[in-house]
Amino acid sequence: MSREKAHMEGRLDGMIFARDIVKKDGIEELEREIERRQAGGINVRLTEKEIKNMLDDMQKDMFEFVFDKCLILGVAILHDTFDFGLEEIKKYHEAMAEAQHYLETGEAEWEDFIQSIEEELQIKFEIRHYKKP
């Protein structure tokens, strides 16, 4: 592809991108998008809103992935080490689902669980490399 043709395709892509922003969110959003890109030297085909949504989805997927693995590991340990039967495992599973709901909805934070454990059991936990979003 010639350099000139690639340049024209890029311009057309930009015009279509701008049109889509205006149609969806209005001219003011396009102006904000232009200012953000000029300030940060950003040259991508995603709006800040799309990038944020994508990151939010990735964060939720990662949370669910880690939580599922913790649930599986917890069930295995409770059964193998402490001889938990089906009824105890069901209660554990329900409690984990409830805790997950609280974390996802913001009704509780990890710090709430850490503080409760420390107060009630005098066991200190720390989440390594944890940075609150």
Q: How do the domains of the chain map onto residue ranges?
A: 3-40, 53-121
| DSSP structure class, residue 14 | H
Q: Do the beta carbons of residue 96 and residue 71 sit within 8 Å?
A: yes
Q: Do the beta carbons of residue 43 and residue 35 sit within 8 Å?
A: no
pTM comes to: 0.58
In angstroms, the CA 131 to CA 67 distance is: 17
In angstroms, the CA 44 to CA 30 distance is: 14
pLDDT recorded at residue 31: 85
pLDDT recorded at residue 10: 75
Q: Do the beta carbons of residue 36 and residue 52 sit within 8 Å?
A: no
The residue among 119, 122, 102 whose CA lies nearest residue 110 is 102
Q: Do the beta carbons of residue 55 and residue 43 sit within 8 Å?
A: no
pLDDT tens digits, 11-63 = 788 888 889 889 999 999 888 888 877 766 655 667 778 778 888 889 889 98
Contacts of 36 by beta carbon, 8 Å cutoff, 6+ apart? 42, 48
> What six digits make up the tokens of 83?
């001889």
pLDDT tens digits, 59-116 = 889 989 999 999 999 999 999 999 999 999 999 999 999 999 999 999 999 999 999 9
